[in-house]
């Protein structure tokens, strides 16, 4: 595992930007992966927010300065929150079990970030 939090931030940024813009690129592809959605405006709202977080993480990861604690909080809080929502709503059978794949990515990012910060 890397000792550099910037590597994790870049990976998280790439994942967030890719998943955040997917609903705008292709509704069909998004719903094929996640299931049909009745509240498309909500999907788009989450997509915009996830993309904004990803952009912020990428901008920070490209700077030579150390990562500000606030950015680490944004990265960790976003990953933890999205994983929790995925797990809770899959358990309640409100969303597709495919969201557990996203939860596993979020948890891996969170663990990687925690290890990198602890080791750096």
| Cα–Cα dist 35/28, whole Å | 10
pLDDT digits (tens, 9 = 90+) for 73-99: 999 999 999 999 999 999 999 999 999
* HEC readout, the chain: CCCCHHHHHHHHHHHHHHHHHHHHHCHHHHHHHHCCCCCHHHHHHHHHHHHHHHHHHHHHHCCCCCCCHHHHHHHHHHHHHHHHHHHHHHHCCCCCCCHHHHHHHHHHHHHHHHHHHHHC
pLDDT digits (tens, 9 = 90+) for 8-49: 999 999 999 999 999 999 999 999 999 999 999 999 999 999
Tell me which residue of 15, 8, 11 sits closest to 115, measured CA to CA: 8
Length of the chain as a residue count: 120
CA 83, chain centre distance (Å)? 8
pTM to 2 decimal places = 0.93
């Amino acid at each position: 595992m890397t000792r550099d939090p910037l590597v994790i931030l870049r990976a998280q940024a790439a994942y967030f930007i890719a998943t955040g813009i997917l609903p705008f690129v292709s509704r069909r592809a998004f719903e094929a992966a996640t299931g049909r959605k009745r509240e498309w405006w909500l999907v788009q709202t989450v997509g915009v927010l996830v993309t904004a977080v990803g952009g912020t993480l990428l901008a920070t990861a490209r700077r030579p300065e150390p990562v500000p604690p606030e950015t680490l909080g944004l990265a960790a809080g976003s990953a933890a929150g999205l994983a929790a929502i995925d797990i809770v709503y899959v358990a309640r059978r409100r969303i597709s079990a495919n969201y557990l794949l996203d939860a596993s990515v979020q948890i891996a990012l969170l663990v990687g970030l925690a290890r990198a910060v602890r080791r750096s």
